Amino acid sequence: MARSSTRPTSRDVAHAAGVSQAAVSLVLGEKWRGRVSEATVQRVRQAARDLGYRPNLAARNLRLGRTRTVLLVVPALTTEFFAGVYTGAARIAAEHGFGVVLYPSPAGIGPARSPFGSAEAALDGVIASSMAADALTAIRGDQLPLVMLDSDPAGSLGAATVNLDIADGVRQVADHLLGLGHRRFLHIAADIASWTFEVRARELAARVGAVEGTVLGTVRAPISIDGALAATEAALTGPGPRPTALVCDDDKLAAGAYKALRRLDLRVPDDISVTGLDDLALATALDPELTTVRLDAELFGERGMQTLLAVLEGREPEQGDIPVELVVRGSTAPPRPI
């Protein structure tokens, strides 16, 4: 039998699920916790899907005084990582009738002009990477419900923070290299003033420094292949013993380090081991493939959006950092015997 062209209503959903319209409203408005059972929630959602029900957002927004639009503020889109963050955030937003506007903050030129006449009138909230925090000034995003990504929970601008467990990722890298026997390290550090990179430097120094006989040097480079190439080449041609392992803050920095090593006729990992952090597509394009820390960018974006929804609804957000995973590939090996 052909489906009626009449748009299904919440009453239709209630009838199909065998529940009251009030229960449908609670479930589809994501206000059911503690008031409606999980089984009822599943019945209502399934009935809505089967009927092709879509809430009348225009009327709902008028009642709630909301635009149902969220801004995601990220650094300039130079890697696929932040594309993954957007994908995850947009997926959760769509499930709740929200849209996500992506706002990349141009690198190197400070805050950009606000894309809105009035951010407070145009937006319900903001999710922002700490690497792009300066852009919040231009859009007055700190005047809105705000969730910060990769931000110090103790000093965050936001109502809540969502972090990957970067500290544990660095510990996993250090333990892997120490376990292989490395004692001379060079940290290729991102030349960006950001909490997430401060954590990497601090944790690496603490983990390596806890082992007797270790040496840790540091050079800074912009997150670019050319920047890492120049910084690595300069460090390895300077005075003193050569490191046996390079610990890079980012896979792109690791790619630049690879180029520097080839120019110096050094082989990975025979002469020097190299690690990255992110597990971008680039990591498996390198030869040998890069040992790196896998960060789940989409889950990061999902958690950011879920946290903002909790803030908007006055709920307690999910706690705890998102786990990360060391992926061991061909770029690391024991150092050559002296």
135 has a pLDDT exceeding 90: no
- Give the tens place of pLDDT for each residue, 251-279: 999 999 999 999 999 999 999 999 999 99
CA atoms within 13 A on the CB side of 270: 5
Q: What is the pLDDT of residue 77?
A: 66
Q: What is the pLDDT of residue 228?
A: 97
User: What are the start-end ranges of the H helices in 161-296?
Assistant: 166-180, 195-209, 225-236, 251-263, 282-285
- Give the tens place of pLDDT for each residue, 15-73: 899 988 778 877 876 667 777 788 888 898 888 888 887 665 444 443 444 678 898 98
Average pLDDT of the segment spanning 182-194: 94
109 has a pLDDT exceeding 60: no
Cβ atoms of residues 297 and 82 within 8 Å = yes
- Give the tens place of pLDDT for each residue, 3-30: 444 678 878 888 899 988 778 877 876 6
Give counts: helices (H), strands (E), the chain.
Answer: 13, 11
| Closest to 261 measured CA to CA, from 274, 249, 280 | 274
Give the domains, in start order, of the chain with CATH numbers.
10-55 (1.10.260), 66-162+297-321 (3.40.50.2300), 166-294 (3.40.50.2300)
Structure tokens that stand for 38 in this block = 């999980």
| Closest to 59 measured CA to CA, from 100, 101, 108, 10 | 10
- Give the tens place of pLDDT for each residue, 206-237: 999 999 999 999 999 999 999 999 999 999 99
Q: What is the pLDDT of residue 1?
A: 37
Contacts of 67 by beta carbon, 8 Å cutoff, 6+ apart: 61, 121, 122, 123, 124
Q: What is the pLDDT of residue 139?
A: 61
Q: What is the pLDDT of residue 159?
A: 82
Contacts of 155 by beta carbon, 8 Å cutoff, 6+ apart: none
117 has a pLDDT exceeding 80: no
Query: Range with the lowest mean pLDDT among 144-153, 172-181, 237-246?
Result: 144-153
Does the pTM exceed 0.85? Answer: no
Dihedral angle sign, alpha carbons of residues 156, 161, 162, 168: positive
- Give the tens place of pLDDT for each residue, 295-317: 999 999 999 999 999 888 888 88
Q: How confident is the model at residue 142 (pLDDT cuts 50, 70, 90)?
A: low
How many whole angstroms separate alpha carbon 319 and alpha carbon 91? 20
289 has a pLDDT exceeding 60: yes
As a whole number, the mean pLDDT across the chain is: 85
Cβ atoms of residues 187 and 202 within 8 Å = no
Q: What is the pLDDT of residue 299?
A: 96
